[in-house]
Amino acid sequence: MRTILLVGEDALLLDSRAAVLSRTKAGTLNASQYEVAVYRSQRFDLLVLCHTLRQGDRIAVAELARHQWPEIPILQVLQYEWEQFVTLKYADQFVLSCDPGKLLQRATELLEKPLKQSRRTISDHLSPAADKQSATNFLR
Amino acid sequence: MSDHAGQRYSPETLFLVQVLNHLEALGNLNYLMNADAEDAQTVHSYVKQSEDILQQVAALVRSRSSIAV
């Protein structure tokens, strides 16, 4: 069974996100930023970073994940569209927090892709193709 | 809890953030309710969860206001 790790600071909101993501048929685990290290030895298929993490913490968790689980895609839940430009290289997909339908769609897409193909490389993000427009397309 | 720049939230902002997070959780439950509209038992469970969240929102507002909620 596939597993999604959700990281955020509001337990109640995280629970409701986990309920939405359980529709992917994957198991879900919720953690605060301080609990992520506990799961280091565990295997995941998708990491979801909640907008309740402050930006610095979100980047720190994403960097830890890239190191610990380099093949695992990261889906960032954002409160505002502009945030994607700040954390662009730390995510494979973005979704706005107010759109559970899109959250489910993006998570399903990432879970269905083979792990290596689901990852965008940093060079992808820095290439001319990853300009503002293509970044904006993450949210569509 | 702190904001994106690492500044600590003021009590007023923290209150609003908590309320907004609760409302977003309600939005997620509402999405699930619509998706499971034909499963009465599941919908009932979501309604119960929504009521609990609304109670928490009311308690939050009550704690920050002299107006009875």
Residue B15 falls within a domain, yes or no? yes
Nearest to A98 by CA among A13, A6, A19: A13
| pLDDT for the residue A122 | 40
Q: Do B28 and A20 touch (CB under 8 A)?
A: yes
Q: Do A20 and B6 touch (CB under 8 A)?
A: no
Domain with B37, as residue range(s), is 11-63
A68-113 pLDDT tens trace: 888 999 999 998 888 877 777 788 999 999 899 999 999 999 999 8
Contact A45, A3 (CB under 8 A): yes
Q: Can you give the CATH number for the domain in which A26 is found?
A: 3.40.50.2300
In DSSP terms, A30 is beta-bridged to: A6
Minimum-distance CB partner of A13 among B21, B32, B35: B21
Residue B18 lies in a domain: yes
| A–B interface: beta-carbon pairs under 8 A | 48
pTM for this entry = 0.81
Residue matched to tokens 């892709």: A113
Total domains, chain A: 1
- Among A41, A61, A39, A35, smallest CA distance to A50 is for A61
Q: What digits encode the pLDDT tens for the residues A8-36?
A: 999 999 999 999 999 999 999 999 988 88
Query: In this structure, which amino acid lies at residue A19?
Result: A
Domain presence at residue B5: no
**Distances, alpha carbon A133 to alpha carbons A6, A130, A137, A140, in Å:** 28, 8, 6, 11
